[in-house]
Structure 1
Amino acid sequence: MTMTIRILLLLAVTVCIAAAQRLVSQRCLCRKVRDKNFGGIKSVEDVQIFPPSQSCTRLEIIVSLKNGVQYCLDPKMKIVQNLLTRLMYKPAPPTVPSPTEVP
């Protein structure tokens, strides 16, 4: 083999290894999303939102219901968008002032 062929072969192997490592690093929490109604906003206990990152390029929304069930939701669903809007504009709970020390 000539030196040029060896260099091209080494370059091709390097590119294949880099591409394979990139595909393996996709570690999303949600393997599939629920695209149907999940029980309504009143049944939601907790919502976790994971923005796209180096480990997963998708926006992931995981909802925990009051009965303990968790679902991954499709962020494109209208009901999910309504849920997120409601949560973002939900008024903060009133804070109770701490008692002041009296001498």
Structure 2
Amino acid sequence: MTMTTRILLLLAVTVCITVAQRSVSQRCLCRRVRNSFGAPNSVEDIQIYPPTPSCDRLEFIVSLKNGVQYCLDPSMKKVQKLLTRLMKKSAPQTVTTPTEATPNDSSIDSADI
């Protein structure tokens, strides 16, 4: 083999290894996304997967009652509204009420020490 052939072969192998590593590192669940919702009454479950080191995308997977699953595009306005609603619903609702401080007879005052 000539030197040019060896260099081209080495370059081709390097490119193949780089492409293979990139595809292994991106292990996302959604390869394709839909831009439309199905019928809301046929939805059984919605799973939200945040970005991870193995997949840098936010993924929405919808499971229908008939067993079909599909991914939604997270950049859709409807999906963003749904996420906002779900976040508000899952946030703990805490209400603080003012209380009046009453002196406790068993408390020790720093002046008593």
TM range (shorter): 0.5 to 0.7
Unaligned ranges ≥5, structure 2? 1-6, 92-113
TM-score (norm 1): 0.59
Structure 2 residue 83 is the aligned partner of structure 1 residue 73:
no
Unaligned ranges ≥5, structure 1? 1-7, 93-103
Offset, 1:77? 0.9
State the alpha-carbon separation in 2 of the partners of residues 32 and 81 from structure 1.
Answer: 18
State the alpha-carbon separation in 1 of the partners of residues 29 and 84 from structure 2.
Answer: 23
State the alpha-carbon separation in 2 of the partners of residues 54 and 37 from structure 1.
Answer: 28
Structure 1's 91 and 75: CA in aligned 2 closer, same or farther, altered over 3 A? Answer: closer
TM-score (norm 2): 0.55
* SS of aligned partner of 1:52: coil
2:63 corresponding residue in structure 1: 64
* SS of aligned partner of 1:79: helix
1:29-84 CA distance string (max 9 Å, x none):
111101112223x5432221122223222211101133432210000111111222
Identity, in percent, stands at: 59
Q: Which has the larger radius of gyration?
A: 2
Offset, 1:18? 5.4
Task: Count the aligned residue pairs.
Answer: 91
* SS of aligned partner of 1:80: helix
- Answer 1 or 2: higher relative contact order, Cα 8 Å, separation at least 6: 1
Structure 1 runs (4+) deviating above 6 angstroms are: 11-14
